[in-house]
Structure 1
Amino acid sequence: MTYKHLFFDLDHTLWDFERNSAESLTDIYHNFELINHGVMSLGDFVRAFLEINTQLWNDFDRGLIAHTYIREHRFRLVFEALKVENVAFGSALGEEYLKLLPQKAHLLDGAVALLEYCANKNYQLHIVTNGFDSIQASKMQSSGIHHYFQHVVTNERAGAKKPDAQIFAYALQAAGAQPQESLMIGDNWEADIMGALRFGIDAAFYNPKKVSFETKPTYDVQHLDELKSIL
């Protein structure tokens, strides 16, 4: 298959969400002196946040909650999970987290090498993300990868989120691309892979944990370097 357009997810596919998030949460833990507010373990704080945040984004992908719910409630839910009675603190932490997180620059192993490889091969590169417009733009600036991409399609711009067909239609139209000349690359099975496949776009599943599903993606890779043999 000869592709012209590559559509990348951002978080967990190129941008190292877990590492960047953990660094941001560590800053928050110390800056807000959470140990004095009943959060006795930094590790428990980070683990609870990542678990709850993942579930909230899964609920968002399934259309069960809105973006605003994630922003407004995730730290409250973290405190509840840790049995810390300080809900009022959550709002300030949420604002600080959204300020710190996009400033973090860690990318997943092989991300820059892959983007450079694709750029040298004259692929047209684009981002398709369910993340917040301004937050995603800041992440790409901070990590130094914004210049690789011609279009950044968010659910805010498209008026729909992955896996809805509308966001893929919007992305293809923005890029001037046809489904048969396009490849979606992402880590989220439902949002990235099934969303693309249902729209007639080939999909490469970035799958470092080797998760298996009944439906087969076009490609299944455990490391970003493996995509070079495909492209």
Structure 2
Amino acid sequence: MKVYRHLFFDLDHTLWDFETNATETLHQLFHDYELARHGTFTLPQFTARYNEVNHALWRLYQANKIGQQQLRDIRFVRTLTKLGVAEADLPADISARFTSILPHKSAVFPHTHEALNYLKSKGYHLHLITNGFEDVQHIKLASSKLTDYFEEVITSETSGCLKPDPRMFAHALERTEATAAESLMIGDNLECDVLGAYNAGIDQVYFNPGKRRHFVQTTYEISSLDELRTFL
């Protein structure tokens, strides 16, 4: 079995449970801004439409078609107008409130801390490589008690590019003084994490908790983080 020394984790949707944390935040905003008074949508509809809009905007962001601030500025405008809210009635600060509240949520995937403790005990060097925004990723790590596990946190802003761009992985290897042959990428996104790492010559672990069907060949595939100990 191949020997790895450096393990690179994605953060959102891999360790930090973005869906759970975002849903809690959206519920808070729905009630704080009394969005039910508009009478055109329910809380589940608000959450579902936000997720739909946000995912579409993140795909554009990862394709370098929109910027960070543009993503933040328009996601709630687009969500609420699609739900029938007039632009004049849009809460002016709802996007800023979401961005300030969300990173302080602490939900992580099952076995996250146990798996990281195990890997640290085995002497692996643990790092993060994330497309998430620099100003919130460190807050997420602190809120979920993940900071101390990682030696390096590589973000798209510090590297100047986004996964799956091979330059981001090259930057991560240079910053951690690792080689591709001794490195392993663990993430939930087939394009950004798996294919991105593959194109950079790095082995991959596809984290697939929903056991979604796909046709991408990966070095390893797991549906639970505790499965990492079966080959590491």
The number of residues matched between the two structures is 231
Which residue number in structure 2 is paired with residue 174 of structure 1?
Answer: 175
Q: Secondary structure at the match of 1:217?
A: coil
Cα distance change, pair 4–91 in 1 and its aligned pair in 2 (3 A)? farther
Is 2:215 the counterpart of 1:200? no
Cα distance in 1 for partners of 2:89, 2:67 equals 21
Cα distance in 2 for partners of 1:39, 1:116 equals 47
Is 2:112 the counterpart of 1:147? no
Cα distance in 2 for partners of 1:169, 1:23 equals 36
Q: Superposed, which structure 2 residues align to 1:78-227 within 5 Å?
A: 78-86=79-87, 89-227=90-228
- CA RMSD, aligned part only? 1.3
Q: Secondary structure at the match of 1:125?
A: strand
Residue segments in structure 2 that go unaligned for 5+ positions in a row: none
Cα distance change, pair 202–91 in 1 and its aligned pair in 2 (3 A)? farther
Structure 1 length normalisation: TM-score?
A: 0.96
Moved more, 65-74 or 31-40: 31-40
Cα distance in 2 for partners of 1:104, 1:71 equals 18
Amino acid at match of 2:116: L
CA displacement, residues 165-199 of structure 1 (integer Å, 9 cap, x when unaligned) = 11101111111100000000000110111000000
Q: Superposed, which structure 2 residues align to 1:24-103 within 5 Å?
A: 24-38=25-39, 40-86=41-87, 89-103=90-104
Structure 2 length normalisation: TM-score?
A: 0.95
Cα distance in 1 for partners of 2:32, 2:91 equals 14
Cα distance in 2 for partners of 1:128, 1:88 equals 39
Cα distance in 2 for partners of 1:173, 1:66 equals 26
Structure 1 segments (4+ residues) deviating >6 Å = none
Report how far residue 144 of structure 1 moved: 0.5
CA displacement, residues 175-229 of structure 1 (integer Å, 9 cap, x when unaligned) = 1100000000000110111000000000000012223433301011111111110
Cα distance change, pair 100–121 in 1 and its aligned pair in 2 (3 A)? same
Cα distance change, pair 165–90 in 1 and its aligned pair in 2 (3 A)? farther
Moved more, 54-63 or 7-16: 54-63
Q: Secondary structure at the match of 2:139?
A: helix
Is the Cα contact below 8 Å between 1:125 and 1:149 reproduced in 2?
yes
Report how far residue 88 of structure 1 moved: 5.8
Is the Cα contact below 8 Å between 1:132 and 1:154 reproduced in 2?
yes
Report how far residue 150 of structure 1 moved: 0.4
Is the Cα contact below 8 Å between 2:111 and 2:224 reproduced in 1?
yes
Cα distance change, pair 40–110 in 1 and its aligned pair in 2 (3 A)? same
Structure 1 vs Structure 2: percent identity of aligned residues? 39
Residue segments in structure 1 that go unaligned for 5+ positions in a row: none
Cα distance in 1 for partners of 2:112, 2:158 equals 25
Cα distance in 1 for partners of 2:210, 2:191 equals 16
CA displacement, residues 51-77 of structure 1 (integer Å, 9 cap, x when unaligned) = 211121122222222222210100011
Cα distance in 2 for partners of 1:197, 1:26 equals 38
Q: Secondary structure at the match of 1:162?
A: coil
Which residue number in structure 1 is paired with residue 12 of structure 2?
Answer: 11
Amino acid at match of 2:29: I
Cα distance in 1 for partners of 2:85, 2:186 equals 39
Amino acid at match of 2:129: V
Moved more, 163-172 or 75-84: 75-84
